[in-house]
Amino acid sequence: MPEVSNLAISCVGLKKHYADVKAVDGLDLSVARGECFGLLGPNGAGKTTTIEILEGLTPRDAGDVQVLGRTWEHDERDLRDRIGISLQETQLSDKLTVIETLTLFRAFYRSGPDPDDLLRDLSLDEKRTARVGKLSGGQRQRLAVACALIGNPDILFLDEPTTGLDPQSRLQLWDVVSRFRAGGGTILLTTHYMDEAERLCDRIAIVDHGHLIALGTPRELIAKLDAPYIIEFTSAPHLDENDILAVTGCRGCTRRGDAWQLRVDSLAVAVPQLMGAIDARGAKLVTLSTHAATLEDLFVSMTGRELRDA
Amino acid sequence: MPKPRSPVVELTLARMREFTREPEAIFWVFVFPLLLALSLGFAFREKPPDKIPIGVLAGAHANERLAALKKSPVLLPRIVTEEEAHLALRRGKISLLVAGDAAPVYRFDTTRPDARAARIEADGALQAAAGRRDVFRASEEHVSERGSRYIDFLVPGLLGMNLMGTGIWGVAFSVVNARMRKLLKRLVATPMRKRDYLLAHIFSRLGFLVIETIVVVTFGWLVFDVGVNGSLATFAVLCVIGGIAFTGIGLLISSRARTIEAVSGMANLVMMPMWICSGVFFSYERFPDSIKPFIRVLPLTALNDALRLVMNDAASIASIAPQLAVLAAWAILTFLVGLKIFRWQ
């Protein structure tokens, strides 16, 4: 737990109910200065509602929020000057060029980098005079992050910064985030990509249905899994659950379509036994894969659903 | 690095750039009013008035009456049968029917001005043919002065209508579009002052208003010889205040709308009464006296009245003060209410 005096963002008992959904249902979070904090969860988990309440854009129903030790109610203008935001779905004006857009945003802030320098940092300098409407998805997203960085913020809020981007664009954005973090900046990001959270975040909060279901460093969270390895296989005909649970060191299994997924203590022990069980049933192995457990597996084991399609 | 410009200046520049990069907008703001003025100008160009078509009922006196009526320069008589006459009168193909035996009977619709004129003219022609002598011979002077032609009425009306249309559409589309793209939400996530955003819309509108007004007025002057008889400074003040009033109305209309359809409906709802009542194509003097006070406080009425006073009658700024006050009130109220109820997300 970070020191209270050193908090960039904190919220206690945060609640937001819409007509028929409890989007956020009693959430406590604290983000230390200089930390990269991830909100991980499936679509509809309440990530966007949470981050937008913390950004002072969405009113909350209950709870306390402090950003940089201040509240939105009392210090909105000052806070706006000190944070940078990239929303999930903003489309910047198609008719303006990249440099025009960034120069416009620069005018709103008291201090900040030269727009041209920032474009160079984000490898957008070649697109300097291109219309925003002509940019690729990755370039647009980098411009959105540039607009968040143009006020030289203390905290960067990123709502699903890489959703829908190609792998190379994701890497470029991760690089931008890492450099901001290395410069002492605080980051709060939401994502439903567990690899993004594992790679970028110092600490992660996993949220589902507006509740916090796990909190910690990526390593701590994965350690919460009862078993560190995952085996996924299909056979013809299918095996019964009892056959699978009989495998030594198997901590549980989940059916995913045709495939079974096992959480096991040791691959060296479990794989040969599983083969034996398949033989004993007179079945044939169709596919087999194994991997070290990830946050995705943690989410599946905690909720029975997958991050991507929950 | 150059010092960043003020947010209002940057927002105004951004708005102007967006606008000039939108080809359709250029058409509606600059080309459309010219096409409209051109077509209407030709439809109502100065020409000898049409002769009034009248009918002479077939019968004993028909031919002599036809000959007498043909001598009138304003009548276009022809012989019609009883059945034809009924239908022609009803459909307005003839304005008057001359019937009767020894003494003529005039059959016509008294609410039609041309029918009444035709009755007097026909009676005069028939009386003369029957031997009535004029007591004196009157002569005529025809008036077609600059400032009293229909086109002199029309050009200021079109200019007013154009300022209304571009003010309301220009702002409404851009605001609702930005709201739909969540650009408004992104902007309020910065330290930008909300009133700066709305002010920038007004300032950028004024930039285009200058060009737009010059284009329409120059066109009216070159093609139809309709100029600004009053002082150009008064004219400029009037156009600017009028332009701001309609930009304010555009902001108010778009302050809550979430879709282009919603804002289009609202804009049409607001503009329709003004197209009809505010004296663009015809004078609102024809409306009943009881509703004229309401018509006069409409912003387009105030603008059109004042434009005609300045352009045609060379009115001073003091004499258009009532209209300027109406426009200024609209500008201030709509801006303040719009800012208050504006939906940013």
Question: Mind listing the pLDDT tens digit for each residue in B320-337?
Answer: 999 999 999 999 999 999
Candidate from A248-257, B104-113, B150-159, B242-251 with smallest mean pLDDT = A248-257
CATH for A226-292, options being 3.30.70.980, 3.10.350.10, 3.30.67.10, 3.40.50.2000: 3.30.70.980
> A56 in the Ramachandran plot: left (φ > 0), alpha (ψ -120 to 50) or beta?
left
Q: Which two tokens stand for residue A74?
A: 């009392």
- Which residues of chain A are within 8 Å of residue B173 when distances are taken between CB atoms? none
**Same-domain pairing of B96 and B241:** no
B131 CB within 8 Å of a chain A CB: no
pLDDT in the model for residue A72: 94
Q: Rounded CA gap, B26 and B11, in Å?
A: 20
> Would you state the structure tokens that stand for residue B33, as one six-digit string?
């009013």
Residues B233 and B283 in one domain: yes
Which positions in chain B touch A114 (Cβ < 8 Å)?
1
Q: Say how far apart CA B109 and CA B116 lie, in whole Å.
A: 8
Question: Would you call A108 and B6 a contact, using CB atoms and an 8 Å cutoff?
Answer: no
Please give the residue of chain B at the shortest CA–CA distance from A55: B189
B188 and A CB contact within 8 Å: yes
**Beta-carbon separation of B186 and A104 below 8 A:** no
Does the CB of B194 have a partner CB in chain A at under 8 Å? no
pLDDT for A95: 93
Is the domain of B15 the same as that of B111? no
In a domain, B135, yes or no: no
Residue B137 belongs to some domain of the structure: no
B162 in any annotated domain: yes
- The boundaries of the domain holding residue B263 are 7-44+146-341
Note whether residue B311 is domain-resident: yes
Choosing from B103, B129, B155, the residue where a domain stops is B129
Check CB contact under 8 Å for B14 and A85.
no
Nearest CA in chain A to B182: A90
Domain membership of residue B124 (yes or no) is yes
d(CA A180, CA A153): 10
pLDDT value of residue B34: 79
Question: Nearest chain A Cα to B12, which residue?
Answer: A104
Q: What pLDDT was estimated at residue B2?
A: 61
Per-residue pLDDT of B289-318, as tens digits, reads 999 999 999 999 999 999 999 999 989 999
Residue of A nearest to B2 (CA): A114
Output the pLDDT for position B111: 86
| Residue A256: predicted pLDDT | 79
Asked if residue B140 belongs to a domain, the reply is no
Q: Give, to the nearest 10 degrees, the angle between helix B321-341 and helix B232-253.
A: 30
For residue A246, the 8-state DSSP code is T
pLDDT surpassing 50 at residue B142: yes
B212 and B293 in a single domain? The answer is yes
CB atoms inside a 10 Å sphere around CB B316? 13
The stretch B181-193 carries a mean pLDDT of 93
Q: Say if the Cβ atoms of A108 and B178 lie within 8 Å.
A: no
CB of A62 within 8 A of CB of A53? no
A210 phi-psi bin (left φ>0, alpha ψ -120 to 50, beta other): left
Q: Please provide the CATH number assigned to the domain covering A4-217.
A: 3.40.50.300
Domain boundaries, given as residue ranges, for chain A: 4-217, 226-292
**Contacting residues for A204 by C-beta, under 8 A, at least 6 apart:** A37, A38, A39, A40, A197, A198, A214, A215, A216, A217, A218, A221, A295
**Does the structure show a pLDDT above 70 at B146?**
no
Claim to verify: residue B31 and residue B56 sit in the same structural domain: no
pLDDT at B297: 93
pLDDT tens-place string over residues A39-53: 998 888 889 999 999
**Beta strands B52-57 and A22-32: pairing type?**
unpaired
Strands A229-236, A83-86: pairing is: unpaired
- Is residue A109 within 8 angstroms of chain B, CB to CB? yes
CA nearest neighbour of B249 among B176, B333, B344: B333
Q: Do A151 and B191 touch (CB under 8 A)?
A: yes
What confidence score (pLDDT) does residue A310 get?
43
List CB contacts (< 8 A) between A93 and chain B. 14, 18, 178, 181, 183
Chain A and chain B share a number of CB contacts under 8 A equal to 73
Q: How confident is the model at residue B4 (pLDDT cuts 50, 70, 90)?
A: confident
CA gap B298, B296 in Å, rounded: 5
Q: What angle do CA A226, A231, A237 make, to 5 degrees?
A: 125
Residue A112 is encoded by which pair of tokens?
């900040």
Phi-psi region of A123 (alpha: psi -120 to 50; beta: other; left: phi over 0): left
d(CA A80, CA B189): 7
As a residue count, chain B comes to 345
Q: Is residue B1 part of a domain?
A: no
**Residues B188, B205 within the same domain:** yes
Q: Is B9 on the interface with A (CB under 8 A)?
A: yes
B176 and B218: one domain?
Answer: yes
d(CA B25, CA B169): 9
Q: How many C-beta atoms lie closer than 10 Å to residue A156's C-beta?
A: 23
B195 interface with A at CB cutoff 8 Å: no
Pair B162, B264 in one domain: yes
Segments of chain A scoring below 50 in pLDDT: 1-2, 310
| Nearest alpha-carbon partner for B14 in B194, B200, B180 | B200
The CATH code of the domain that includes B63 is: 3.40.190.10
Tell me the shortest Cα–Cα distance from B191 to chain A, in angstroms.
5
Residues in chain A closer than 8 A to B183 (CB atoms): 90-93
Domain end, chosen from B96, B129, B162, is at B129
Q: Is A25 on the interface with B (CB under 8 A)?
A: no
Quote the DSSP letter at residue A5: G
Contacts of A108 in chain B (CB under 8 A): 7, 190-192
How far off is chain A from B265, nearest CA to CA, in Å?
24
Is B182–A91 a contact, with Cβ atoms under 8 angstroms apart?
A: yes
pLDDT at residue B144, as a whole number? 63
Cβ contacts of A77 on chain B, cutoff 8 Å: 191
My answer on whether B104 and B168 are in the same domain is no
B69 near A CB under 8 A: no
- Token duo for residue A79: 């806070």
Partner-chain residue, chosen from B10, B22, B191, that has the shortest CB–CB distance to A80 = B191
- Total domains in chain B come to 2
The reply to whether domains A4-217 and A226-292 share a CATH topology is no
Beta bridge partner(s), residue A212: A207
Contact status of A154 with chain B (Cβ, < 8 Å): no
CB atoms under 10 Å from CB of A16, counted, come to: 22
- Please identify which residue in the block is written with the tokens 């009037």: B238
Strand duo A22-32 + A7-17: pairing:
antiparallel
- Neighbour order of strands in the sheet with A203-208: A83-86, A155-159, A186-191, A36-40, A203-208, A211-216
Q: Which residues pair with B53 in a beta bridge?
A: B76
| Same domain, yes or no: B210 and B280 | yes
Query: How far, in Å, CA of B200 to CA of B196, rounded?
Result: 6
Burial class, B24, CB count within 10 angstroms (exposed 0-12 / middle 13-18 / buried 19+): exposed
Tokens at B273, concatenated: 């009464």
Which of these three, B64, B98, B129, is where a domain ends? B129
**Does A75 lie at the interface with B, CB-CB under 8 angstroms?**
no
**Upper half-sphere CA count for residue B333 (Cβ side, 13 Å):** 7
Q: Does B10 touch chain A (CB under 8 A)?
A: yes
Q: List the strands of the sheet with A284-292, edge to edge.
A: A250-256, A259-264, A229-236, A284-292
Closest CA to A145 of A185, A110, A184: A185
- Distance (Å) from the C-alpha of residue A220 to the closest C-alpha of chain B? 34
Which chain B residue has its CA at the smallest distance from A102's CA? B10
Residue B49: which pLDDT band, with cuts at 50, 70 and 90? low
CB-based contact B186 A147, cutoff 8 Å: yes
Instruction: Name the residue facing A81 among B7, B186, B191 (closest C-beta).
Output: B191
CA distance A63 to A49: 14
Q: Which residues of B touch A103 (CB under 8 A)?
A: 4, 10
Q: Is B16 within 8 Å of chain A by CB?
A: no
Q: How far is A78 from chain B (nearest CA, A)?
A: 8
Residues B78 and B186 in one domain: no
d(CA A119, CA A122): 5
B333: number of Cβ within 10 Å? 14
Ranges of H-type helices in chain A: 47-54, 72-82, 98-106, 115-121, 137-149, 167-182, 194-200, 218-223, 241-245, 267-280, 295-303
Helix (H, G, I), strand (E, B) or coil at A71: coil
Which of B17, B21, B183 is closest, CB to CB, to A91? B183
Question: Are B211 and B312 members of one domain?
Answer: yes
Give the residue from B254, B258, B248, B241 showing the smallest Cα distance to B333. B248
Min CA distance, A76 vs chain B (Å)? Answer: 8
Domain assignment of residue B60, yes or no: yes
Question: Is A3 an 8 Å CB contact of chain B?
Answer: no
Q: How far apart are CA B195 and CA B340, in angstroms?
A: 10
B190 vs A contacts (CB less than 8 Å): 80, 85, 105, 108-109, 151
Q: Which of A108, A117, A149, A157 to mutate: most B Cβ within 10 Å?
A: A108
Question: Do the chains contact at A103 and B4, CB–CB below 8 Å?
Answer: yes
Residue A299's nearest CA partner among A271, A261, A272 is: A261
Closest CA relative to residue B236, chosen from B313, B159, B157, B146: B159
Q: Could you tell me if B198 and B251 are in contact, meaning their C-beta atoms sit under 8 angstroms apart?
A: yes
